[in-house]
Chain A
């Protein structure tokens, strides 16, 4: 391993490069533009032997990725925000055709109003598309998860596409020290991709993307869900363990910090986890029983692992950097519903925070904890969804 200073986009581009992809179709979009830039530099410098496909939109980028992956090629790309939404219909097709395309997504807010900053709305809105979703807290995680995503997605029990979310600017454009694996190390970890279900061979004609009438469609969706809900969780654990053995860095679908005796546990995803961890350290020093639970894998949803960590808390505070309009926090909804059939369960509160790149500060998590303390005292949740750090006043129409 080599210690290097790099931005999050450089980490995902390096991770992709080390996996020796055959085809990389990409369309630049803030904050992920640096990914195709780095990839084209690698190819121009002769460091990477790949086909870089210049396309006219993200819809075409994902279409080209699907076409390339259907020939049996290893394919990667990157996008963000509106770009991911433009890919939306193709995301389902990549998954349904069981093509393990690996994508880095610079998590960014959606228009309108136009905003290029950090927000999880893009990937959250794509969580039902059949893609494995992993979220990085730091650039090191962005690099590691990118490489591991290939091994997870390409596993014959899984065969699903996967995306790695990294927060816009906070990670994509911020330099950090990263332990970069060498090519030899990655070659040892990741074998060449040799699919048996789809590959281009004139001697073996096949039809792909076929028509599925009502008498077969449900069975195909059922098979896809076995791969996602039954096999992928096991394969993710196996790959995380192998990574730890080889590189010494431990990954878990969900990671607990100071949760054992905690009355209040904050749940986070992405870069705000670091801020939440500092808040927990500060409050623990003041004698408060506060813990933190970080979600790394959102799809497949790690409900059992989450419940194991959260079940003994009095209040769980889910910090969502996205919003289901007319409902509340999407991650909150999933955590709350995973407890629904249990006799013993914590109270769960939803906090909407840091939308469109609004800074998430230690004082914001302190506000969340103080609201949860009030819930502990009263014994019931007064307000299910609360917005943190919003100063709203309607303007007059002129």
Chain B
């Protein structure tokens, strides 16, 4: 059974995170972390906030790297288009 609020009002803040939209994806971005310069461009341009910038320890030093959250990425390819280091390639999503 589906619980229905009057006027589809949602009383739980930030609950859109519970709605995972990654299954809509037909193209998948693949990130080559060795090429990623941590420039933030993909993070800025992603229309779905599906890019998370994180820190990795590489050769003993902290380096900023992009990470793709596939729970929400819809595969639009904007990150691959904007990437300054050609670190993201789009391939067909195979389930």
B34 within 8 A of A: no
In whole angstroms, how far apart are the Cα atoms of A213 and B9 in the complex? 14
Please report the C-alpha to C-alpha distance between residue A383 and residue B9 in the assembled complex, in whole angstroms: 49
Interface Cβ pair total, 8 Å cutoff: 49
Interface centre among A197, A198, A207, A220 (most CB of B within 10 A): A207
**B2 and A219 contacting across the interface, CB-CB below 8 Å:** yes
A207-B15, A215-B2 known; A220 vs B8 contact (CB < 8 Å): yes
Q: Which single residue of chain B is at the shortest CB-CB distance from A216?
A: B2
Whether B10 and A97, one on each chain, are in contact in the complex, defined by CB atoms closer than 8 angstroms, is no
Judge whether A98 and B2 touch: CB under 8 Å. Answer: no
How would residues 1 to 28 of chain B score, 1 for a CB under 8 Å from any chain A CB and 0 otherwise?
Answer: 0101111111101011001000000000
- Other-chain residue from B2, B9, B15 in contact with A198 (beta carbon distance below 8 A): B9
Once the chains bind, are A96 and B7 in contact (CB under 8 Å)?
Answer: yes
A197 engages B5 (CB within 8 Å) = yes
User: Chain A contacts of B7 at CB under 8 A?
Assistant: 96-99, 159, 197-198, 208
A209-B13 in contact given A216-B2, A219-B2 (Cβ < 8 Å): no
Residue of B nearest to A224 (CB): B7
User: Could you tell me if A210 and B8 are in contact, using CB atoms closer than 8 angstroms?
Assistant: yes
In the bound complex, do residue B10 and residue A98 qualify as a contact, i.e. CB atoms below 8 Å apart?
Answer: no
Contacts of B16 in A (CB 8 A): 207, 211
Do B8 and A212 have beta carbons less than 8 Å apart?
yes
Interface size of B in residues (CB-CB distance below 8 Å):
13
Q: Tell yes or no: A326 within 8 A of B by CB.
A: no
Chain A interface extent, by class = 20 to 34
Q: Which of A99, A159, A207 touches B10 (beta carbons < 8 Å)?
A: A207
Residues of B50-86 at the interface with A, using a CB-CB cut-off of 8 Å, are none
Q: What's the nearest-Cβ distance from chain A to residue B15, in Å?
A: 7
Asked if residues B11 and A206 are in contact (CB atoms below 8 Å), the reply is yes
User: A198 to chain B: which residues have CB within 8 Å?
Assistant: 7, 9
How many angstroms between the C-alpha atoms of A205 and B2 in the bound complex? 22
Contacts of B15 in A (CB 8 A): 207
Interface: A223 (CB within 8 A)? yes
Residues of B within 8 A of A207 (CB): 9-10, 13, 15-16
Q: Which of chain A's residues have a CB closer than 8 A to the CB of B11?
A: 204, 206
A196 to B16, CA, bound (A): 22
B residues with a Cβ closer than 8 A to A are 2, 4-11, 13, 15-16, 19
Chain A to chain B: the 8 pairs with minimum beta-carbon distance, closest first: A98-B7, A207-B10, A219-B2, A197-B6, A97-B7, A205-B13, A223-B4, A219-B4
9 A-B pairs, CB-CB below 8 angstroms? A97-B7, A197-B6, A198-B7, A207-B10, A207-B13, A208-B8, A209-B8, A210-B10, A220-B8
Q: Which of A's residues lie within 8 Å of B, judged by CB? A: 96-99, 159, 197-198, 204-213, 215-216, 219-220, 222-223
